[in-house]
A = this chain, B = another copy of it.
């Protein structure tokens, strides 16, 4: 938590997590409407899943869960209309592009009117990679096991279905 008194929620998300995509698409206006500061916390699920014995996404490890997830995602996106989506998520999940490819990321960055080479060089810098690894360790220490997870103090809220609960908690409601 920050030193000031304004309520805040940490939004832990993963660019390879479909449900992070849906939550990212709706959380900003909801947090604003609730008067809650939103802190974006990127992290990696890979090392957390590996610790659980998975070498892949649970949606691939458990095919029934994977089939369900894609159907559920299709319904959620249709129901929400996704009034906006962040570029990297959209590229991966709405447009089927591989965000592991440097060229894909360069095109996304260019579409946001930023300089691809400068942004990619920064993203690939050792201190940034170390920060992401550190964030992932922090996520693990907090008990995070999936994404998205919202954190208020030491309370975890797993999944987009808990956004309102997390915002209520942050406001002391």
**Which residues of A are in contact with B by a Cβ distance under 8 Å?**
52, 62, 64-65, 67-68, 71-72, 75, 79, 143-146, 155-159, 161-162, 165
Contacts and interface: CB of A to CB of B under 8 A. Distances in A.
Contact of A52 (B62, B67, B71, B155): B62
A5 to B, nearest CB: 23
A155 B161 CA distance: 19
Chain B CB count within 10 A is highest, among A64, A65, A72, A145, for A64
Contact of A64 (B65, B75, B143, B155): B143
Contacts of A65: 145-146
A143 B65 CA distance: 8
A131 to B, nearest CB: 23
Given A62-B145, A145-B65, A156 B75 contact: no
Given A62-B145, A64-B143, A145-B65, A161 B158 contact: no
A165 B64 CA distance: 20
Given A65-B145, A67-B143, A68-B158, 18 more contacts: A52-B62, A62-B145, A64-B143, A64-B144, A64-B145, A65-B146, A68-B143, A68-B145, A68-B156, A71-B155, A71-B156, A72-B157, A72-B158, A72-B162, A75-B165, A79-B165, A159-B161, A161-B161
